Amino acid sequence: MSLSLAIQDFLQASAEIPVIDVRSPGEFLRGHIPGAHNIPLFNNEERALVGTKYKQVGKEEAVLLGLEIVGPKMASFVREAKAISKNGKVLVHCWRGGMRSGSFAWLLNTSGLQAITLKQGYKAYRRHVLKSFASPYTLIVLGGETGSGKTEILASLKERGEQVIDLEALAHHKGSAFGALGQQPQPGVEEFENILYTELRGMDTNRRIWVEDESKSIGRVFIPPDFWQQMKQAMMFRIALPKEARVERLLKEYGCFSTTDLEASVLRIQKRLGGLATRQCQDALKAGDLKTVAEITLTYYDKAYTHHKEDIASCQRILLDKDNPQEAASLILEQMKTSS
């Protein structure tokens, strides 16, 4: 019988031993333990067939069908697992820690590997992930209007030894209607939660953690509610940078994209911009006047951001006369010292 570990011990072991997820590709794509290797016992269609057989006929017939499907694949399963293994060991899990992972582990153990399964499977991992966001973190939020250079300021803080989580990088989205430009496809909500948990798990919870100010959603993913509530209650440093400097930053960041892509982004917020402002942006894009587009859209985003921050109690402003993320990071850390 295979050794089986509870979630905490399983995750600790995963620092040294590779993880094999035997769920279907569709399940894996929806969300998985970051770094896990997918060796599906059944593909998406096969899993559906076995599930239908179980519901319509019963467990015994479903098991027989599963064996017929898996039989020809057994040798390839072992070869793949051996190629992934480290010192002859692998960690294996399925959805509930039942028949799929148990059968796979039996096969690998029979073939000379040591396969260790996860008690209650990926379901236990997801419970653990969601519960973790309610754990207390010492968060400090970096805020500021669009174009303030918050991402670069966070990077500068990280270079100085601060703990930083770049939520937008994890989400593959910069948060605005233009935020998907130049980004990889976004992860699903479940996968984003898994990635965020992994980042937090690597942090020292006795030290402060910096995050950028965000709304509940970043593109199509959502910040876990418990974590977002902690962000709302955290100390904030709000960058105040002149609009002219922010316009110049936006021109550098988005000026490389096509008129078609920029217009599509403008149209995503046309109801909020209003008909006149939208037409002005479209006319400016056709004329190659990206500065006007940036000025118009910033007017909208500045109003939205001010409204979003009305309920922030603990907020310290960092006044800048020019766009200099390194200087901003220095000012923030100096202010931290004087206020502590």
**Residues labelled catalytic:** 94
Of 227, 222, 231, 228, whose CA–CA distance to 191 is shortest? 222
Query: In Å, how far are 83, 205, 212, 240, 318 from 336, measured between CA atoms?
Result: 49, 18, 17, 17, 11
Q: Alpha carbon of 259 to those of 55, 263, 293: distances in Å? A: 53, 6, 11
Residue 72 has which token pair?
A: 């020809």
Which residues touch 134 (CB under 8 Å, ≥6 apart)? 226
User: For residues 21 and 38, is the Cβ–Cβ distance under 8 A?
Assistant: yes
Distance, in Å, from the CA atom of 197 to the CA atom of 206, rounded to the nearest integer, reads: 16
Specify whether the CB–CB gap between 76 and 108 falls below 8 A.
Answer: no
- C-alpha dihedral over 301, 307, 312, 316, to 10 degrees? 50
